[in-house]
Structure 1
Amino acid sequence: MALDALKLDVDPDEAAEARARDLSARYANATAEQAIDAALNDIFPGEIALVSSFGAESAVLLKLVADIDRHVPVVFLDTGKLFGETLRYRDKLVDLFGLTDVRSIKPVPARLAEVDPDGGLWLRDNDTCCHIRKVEPLTFAMEGFSAWFTGRKRFQAETRSKLQLFEAEGTRIKVNPLAGWSSAEIKAFRAKHDLPAHPLVAEGFLSIGCMPCTDRVAEGEDERAGRWRGAAKTECGIHLGLVGRELDGSGI
């Protein structure tokens, strides 16, 4: 009886954090392929999705996952503000890797009509714009999943420098197979497998989000320096909690 009561007192978020720490320790020496295989087949079978922006470095993780299981659900947030190049790149990679379950998730029309009727919210309040175009749609898209893959790496920005292989996101677990990869390793993998580059990379866009809020990156800057240029914002918010904590801190 006392044991049952003790179990009921366990906070679900704290339990997820403890599990993420345990998994990170257990798979500390695993390769990206091994971590992905374990997540798909042993830890979260049938309960994990891949959230992809189909951005500058997305092809690497998409290939790694597709080589193990090309039927994994892939969630793509189509904000309505993306570059046309990103949408075409998405379609190209879907065909290349034979992905069978790519879910392009759009903002709820009623929410856009309510909060951003003129489409210019990004100019007035980019946090709220990200919230209704990314955070809210992803919240709905993740229903039924207990975990998700992200393509974030420690080298991308200071806000990601302590990124772990497994991390808690509320009661869900995020898996970051490329957390420890360097920029050189990403480039070498792409070259080895002849992966097509996002067409905007050649124009100096190293981290690609919505068109109005993405700028070119100067030499020596963090890869994400071109996101929300001139604002105190560096993350869209989807990695700050799917409950809508869209303020700056740590994104896709």
Structure 2
Amino acid sequence: MVVMTVMREEDIVTGGSMSVEEATDRAADLMKRYGHLQGISLIEPMVHDEFNGRITMTSSFGTEAAALLALVSEVDANLPVIFLDTRKLFGETHRYREQLVDKLGLTNIKIMRPDEKLLAVDDPNGMLFASDTAKCCYLRKVEPLQRALTGYDAWLTGRKRFHGGERDALPVIETAGTRIKINPLAGYNRSDIEDIFENRALPHHPLEAEGYLSIGCMPCTDRVDPGTTDVRAGRWAGQDKTECGIHYII
């Protein structure tokens, strides 16, 4: 049975995290033991041995999201999956999420939304994206994720080096302040992702066929020209911005 929960304060996992120093030492130790692994070979020990019950994953349910979701579902279909509903997403993304949840048998989806009180003060008309994208991303993604991660010591992400930019030298295991961040697909290339889709008969995000290579919020996501190789070219196009900020969380 699928448990798709809109997270409230009372739903948030409680418990302390490591200190920054402890997280740094733990990440270094994990890199020594697991840094040569990727994919399921890395996910399994992280979920079952190193962080059992204290690990989650985040998913945008975007164009490549099904790849990591599929691997995680094969390790533990009940692993908590945090989905940030920014209130600015495409309707297709919500429908695609439901399709993937059903396809992969995911049973524990945590939907996290922006704090309505903060939005009322800082983005009362919902147009903050037009004047301050950094603050908009903070209110709608970073702050909600900070709350959603409370009580977890580690989280899985779907970032990959071939996306370029700040992800060029992405390690498979890193620190994020007081937490450990695991990037099981860091070393995968575009062909590897396509193989996961093909071998598992995974559906594609419906907007991919319309020219969207990377999909986030509607106001800040554009189609790209055919043949574009920069996967994230359509995100915040024309701005000096490539990341929403959730991967800077400490």
Q: Same fold by TM-score, threshold 0.5 exceeded?
A: yes
Contact 1:48 1:148 in 2 (8 A): yes
SS at match of 1:94: helix
Residue 225 of structure 1: how far off its partner (Å): 1.3
Within 5 Å, which residues of 2 pair with 1:117-136?
117-136=124-143
**Which sits farther off after the overlay, 222-231 or 11-20?**
11-20
1:172 equivalent in structure 2: 179
Alignment partners' CA distance in 2, 1:54 and 1:17: 29
Tell me how large the CA RMSD over aligned residues is: 1.3
Report the counterpart of residue 228 of structure 1 in structure 2.
236
Aligned pairs, how many? Answer: 232
Indicate whether 1:194 and 2:201 are aligned: yes
Q: Which amino acid aligns with 2:47?
A: L
- State the AA in 2 paired with 1:120: M
Q: Return the match for 1:20 from 7, 27, 44.
A: 27
Give me the whole-angstrom Cα distance separating, in 2, the residues matched to 1:12 and 1:73.
23
TM-score normalised per structure 2: 0.90
Task: State the Cα distance separating 1:239 from its structure 2 match.
Answer: 0.3
What does residue 13 of structure 2 align with?
none
TM-score, length-scaled by structure 1: 0.89
Aligned-pair identity (%):
51
Aligned position for 2:218: 211
1:1-252 alignment, distance < 5 Å: 12-218=19-225, 219-242=227-250
Shift of 1:206: 0.9
Distance apart, 1:12 and its partner CA: 2.6
Structure 1: which amino acid aligns with 2:166?
Answer: T
Distance 1:232 1:152 in 2: 20
1:25 CA drift (Å)? 2.8
Q: CA deviation at 1:81?
A: 0.2
Contact 1:217 1:223 in 2 (8 A): no
CA distance in 2, matches of 1:220, 1:156: 12
Structure with more contact order per residue of length (Cα contacts < 8 Å, sep ≥ 6) = 2
Unaligned runs of 5+ in 2: 1-17
Q: Which has the larger radius of gyration?
A: 1
Query: Aligned equivalents of 2:229 and 2:134: distance in 1?
Result: 23
Which residue identity does 1:99 align to in structure 2?
L
Structure 2 distance, partners of 1:121, 1:228, is 14
Q: Partners in 2 of 1:195 and 1:214 — Cα distance?
A: 23
Post-superposition Cα deviations, 1:3-57, rounded to whole Å, max 9, x if no partner, equal: xxxxxxxx93133123223312321332411110000011100000010000000
Distance in 2 (CA, whole Å) between partners of 1:165 and 1:135 is: 22
Q: Distance in 1 between matches of 2:240 and 2:20?
A: 29
SS at match of 1:85: helix
